[in-house]
Structure 1
Amino acid sequence: MNRAARVLLIVAAALASLGFLALAAWQVQRLGWKEDLIARVEQRLKAEPVPPPPASAAVGKDDEYRRLRLRGRFEPREALVQATTELGGGHWVLVPLRLDDGRMVLVNRGFVPPERRAADQHAAPAGPVELTGLLRLTEPGGGPLRRNEPAADRWYSRDVAAITARLGLAGPVAPFFVDEAADPAQPQRWPRPGLTVVRFNNNHAVYAATWLALAAMAAAAAGYLLREERRRATP
């Protein structure tokens, strides 16, 4: 290996070390952001339920998992969205709830196994209802591998706009849906509510340590090559 190639290798190792350090710093920033997110979500889950946001309010990530209290009547129509839960495979049952102020909110009433997918196996209450649940953001498009097929009533994600259009809902419809909370008075009811999974992967500390280790290895390699180059240059 000639001198130019050795110098190029030293520079590459040094740059790699700096790049790994930058990635480690980014992961430390991500760790802080993720811990703050988890703390904020946990605070929302413990808070008292509040009325749904007004129709004019913008709804985003800062609102997800907020506990809501809803009052209204269920509409006699529904959409079944494929789901996999701790109870196995089946469907989420999404039913529009007309609130007392006239607005509509899609409510995920819970999970049903395949043998209970028929509407008469999980009918919604006919009269006025009051429930609590978690605000969830719409899931447009479909699942990771399958697109929603509205015309065939095949749903792989809870796409509020598409389901709203398919059900032909009239009047203003909230741009989010609500996962209904479990009812202690009906622990075995179908659909089975309260199965929302609130989990955040938080491996940023491991990633930061990995990048730091790689940075140290690259720096050590650069140092070794530099010493060798100096040794070669010494008469």
Structure 2
Amino acid sequence: MIRRLIFPLLIGVLGCAALLVLGLWQVQRLAWKQGILSQIESRMAADPVPLDTIPDPDPEADRYRPVTVTGRLTGEEAPVLTSDGGAGYRVIAVLETGARRVLVDLGFVPLDAKDSPRTGTVSIAGTLHWPQEADGWTPDPSDDNIWFARDVPRMAEALGTEPVLVVARQVAPDVGTRVLPVNTAAIPNDHLHYAITWFMLALLWAAMSLYLGYRALRAGPKE
């Protein structure tokens, strides 16, 4: 009888152990991600500082830092194809502040507003950001100047600016865009869902192993 239970017992213990380890790992990842999100939210809630007081913004140390900047929109843009309640573009524009040229994300415009003029002096309150949207599968910009990801280094090279992007929360005066501020909602945090999935699979595995053991006991010795 004991011999018939060895296999289902072994399979049950090993399988449940592996699934529980995966579930606990996701719980640890959940705590780590919540800490990261808390740090980001705390940084974004800080008082904004003038961009000119940060001569060389760092993509790690200064990511999510609130800033203010005033300058002249030159009309040079890199529109990024996107969808936000409908097809359109995120307008990445060049802002000249005197000695500096930086990129500003002015927000969303519908498809038919891609080539509308956005020039003149503006004051922007926003957040420093280096989005990690581009990868090896991202297409090159089209011949008619349509981009498919906010690739700050490449956009800066194409438009002759510093590799610095200010994502606007407010633009004054209005330039006809709908701002899309940085927030943590865009940062995935599915670890709780994954943890629950692994724990449910462990429970299911245990139930199946018990049933297999029961069947082995009921089978009895072979004639």
Q: Using structure 1 for the length normalisation, give the TM-score.
A: 0.74
Determine whether 1:192 maps to 2:184.
Answer: no
Aligned length: 215
Match of 2:89 among 73, 76, 91: 91
The 1-side partners of 2:117 and 2:35 are apart by 39
Q: Using structure 2 for the length normalisation, give the TM-score.
A: 0.77
The CA deviation at 1:157 is: 0.7
Q: Which structure 2 residues correspond to residues 1-235 of structure 1 after superposition, within 5 A?
A: 7-52=6-51, 53-55=54-56, 58-60=58-60, 63-86=62-85, 88-100=86-98, 102-118=99-115, 121-125=116-120, 127=121, 129-139=122-132, 141=134, 146-149=138-141, 151-167=143-159, 169=160, 173-174=162-163, 176-183=164-171, 186=174, 189-194=175-180, 196=182, 198-199=184-185, 200-223=187-210, 225=212
The CA deviation at 1:107 is: 0.4
The CA deviation at 1:24 is: 0.8
Distance 1:207 1:132, change over 3 A: same
How much is the aligned-residue C-alpha RMSD, in angstroms? 3.2
Alignment-mate amino acid for residue 107 of structure 1: V
Alignment-mate amino acid for residue 35 of structure 2: D
The CA deviation at 1:216 is: 2.8
- What secondary structure is seen at the aligned counterpart in 2 of 1:24? helix
Do the aligned residues in 1 keep the contact of 2:66 with 2:125 (CA within 8 Å)?
yes
Distance 1:63 1:97, change over 3 A: same
**Structure 1 stretch displaced more, 11-20 or 32-41:** 32-41
Structure 1: gaps spanning 5 or more residues:
none
Do the aligned residues in 2 keep the contact of 1:142 with 1:156 (CA within 8 Å)?
no
Structure 2: gaps spanning 5 or more residues:
none
- What secondary structure is seen at the aligned counterpart in 1 of 2:195? helix
